[in-house]
Copies of this chain bind each other. A is one copy, B any other.
Amino acid sequence: MSTVIKGGTIVAADRSYEADILIEGETIKAIGPDLKGEKVIDAAGALVMPGGIDPHTHLEMPFMGTTAAETWESGTFAGLSGGTTMVVDFAIPNDKGMLAAFDDWYGRADRSASGDYSFHMCVTGWDERTFDEMETIVGRGINTFKHFMAYKGALMVNDDEMFASFQRCAALGALPLVHAENGDIVAALQQKYMAAGVTGPEGHAYSRPPEVEGEATNRAIMIADAAGVPVYIVHVSCEQAHEAIRRARQKGMRVYGEPLIQHLVLDETEYFNKDWDYAARRVMSPPFRDKSHQDSLWAGLAAGSLQIVATDHCSFTTEQKRFGLGNFTKIPNGTGGIEDRMPVLWTKGVETGRLTENEFVAVTSTNIAKALNIYPRKGAIVPGADADLVVWDPKLSKTISAASQKSIIDYNVFEGVQVSGLPRYTLSRGEVVWSDGQNSTPQPGRGKFIPRKPFPAV
């Protein structure tokens, strides 16, 4: 069956122009004026964009003694409703190794995902098995490996492990990702604040200051440079980390920085809310920062020193959060965002004049597809690409609310934020999977694993 999206303005990373889009099966067949198809999707007055890609989610993640309550089913559907057609989740090996982790993650996603997906594989230590498995994993279609510099005693790797893994990435054509916070200092500060009787969510913020993130970012970059590999810093939340990134880029190093939509618009005062639940729901790492950091992140997106906006969607219920009552170090880390990333970024970024609509597409989709080496299958509106498309209606608006969200979590960190700009339709590989006001529902198992090839040697 053929479908034509008619009457819209195509907004790509490089330009905006009026044209129809003809879809045959799962892919884009043609772009141009006056196209015809069996089914017509009305894009009059709307912008047609590549579907959003969220490169940073943790659906159903086992973490801190529990499992993130947002499921593959609810999470990917929430994404589609907000214009995000693909997620990249983090597979975390336990002692059974990377292949078992791959199978685990694949199994859950395959069963439940409504939208397409891929994985990053985590490197949580270093030994010969890891060295060997990395090659196998690349063979399975994963070209990114994640490293935690925090979560001491759990996921954290130290500098020589990271250097070994980065060198392996260089050899395999893979890209290392880094969660950059100094885990030693975080652990010591956690102890210090607990000992001082600061046991509430504000202790989470105090024990993870921006300097701790800036330091680790700087270190990760140095190690990548020594290993001769680019590096991708996830959840860049502060000027200190951004400064390290742009300093490196100005030496010709290839470094990517990913701010989250949360850090772009929310700030640390959230942790000082008297309501423990309210504050604990916002606990994530890195924590929200002083408002002054937001200017740095926005300017970085405009200047190109930061390239990607993600969510780190890792949602726990209030009940799960209460695990950390009396001890902030036990509050499961993570918030939602997948459903709201694009509307909030549009509202706070494009409507304010900070970003152009083309930059919006770049940072929510195109740059991500390039960084993860699935461009232009994803992230582009060109013939042959997957027909992951959003018909974006700048006149649709709503007030974000847990009560009405698709996510199954009982709260939303953007509660009360007014957004203007929402999907009229979202298409996943040619099929309308979200239609505003039409009671769309999840289609578990519809989503496909998108293999990602290694990068060519430089």
Contact = CB atoms under 8 A, between A and B. Distances in A.
A295 B252 CA distance: 8
B302 A252 contact: yes
A212 B184 contact: no
Interface string A133-165: 000000000000000000000000011100110
How many identical chains are in the complex?
4
A215 B212 contact: no
B163 A14 contact: no
A376 B184 contact: no
Contacts of A218: 215, 218-219
Nearest to A251: B299
A298 interface: yes
Contact of A300 (B188, B250, B300, B353): B250
Interface in A277-332: 292, 295-296, 298-300, 302-305
Contact of A219 (B219, B249, B299): B219
A182 B299 contact: no
B302 A303 contact: no
Contacts of A298: 252
A16 to B, nearest CB: 10
A32 interface: yes
A209 interface: yes
A252 B219 CA distance: 22
Question: Range of interface residues on chain A?
Answer: 35 or more
A266 interface: no
A223 interface: yes
A36 interface: no
Contacts of A250: 246, 296, 299-300, 303, 305
Listed residue (A160, A252, A299) with the most chain B CB atoms within 10 angstroms of its CB = A252
A394 interface: no
A324 to B, nearest CB: 22
A446 interface: no
Contact of A304 (B223, B295, B303, B376): B303
A211 B295 CA distance: 16
Listed residue (A185, A302, A304, A458) with the most chain B CB atoms within 10 angstroms of its CB = A185
Contacts of A353: 458
A219 B303 contact: no
A361 to B, nearest CB: 12
Given A160-B188, A163-B185, A354-B252, A215 B219 contact: yes
23 contacts: A14-B370, A14-B376, A15-B376, A32-B383, A159-B182, A160-B187, A163-B184, A185-B222, A185-B223, A189-B226, A211-B222, A211-B225, A214-B222, A215-B218, A246-B246, A246-B250, A249-B302, A249-B304, A250-B296, A250-B303, A252-B295, A252-B354, A304-B305
- The list of the 7 closest CB pairs from A to B, nearest first, reads A159-B184, A304-B304, A249-B303, A215-B222, A252-B299, A160-B184, A211-B222
Interface of A: 13-15, 17, 31-32, 158-160, 163-164, 182, 184-185, 187-189, 209, 211-212, 214-215, 218-219, 222-223, 225-226, 243, 246-247, 249-252, 254, 292, 295-296, 298-300, 302-305, 353-354, 366, 370, 375-376, 380, 383, 458
Given A15-B376, A182-B222, 10 more contacts: A14-B14, A14-B375, A32-B383, A160-B184, A160-B185, A185-B226, A249-B303, A250-B299, A252-B295, A304-B304
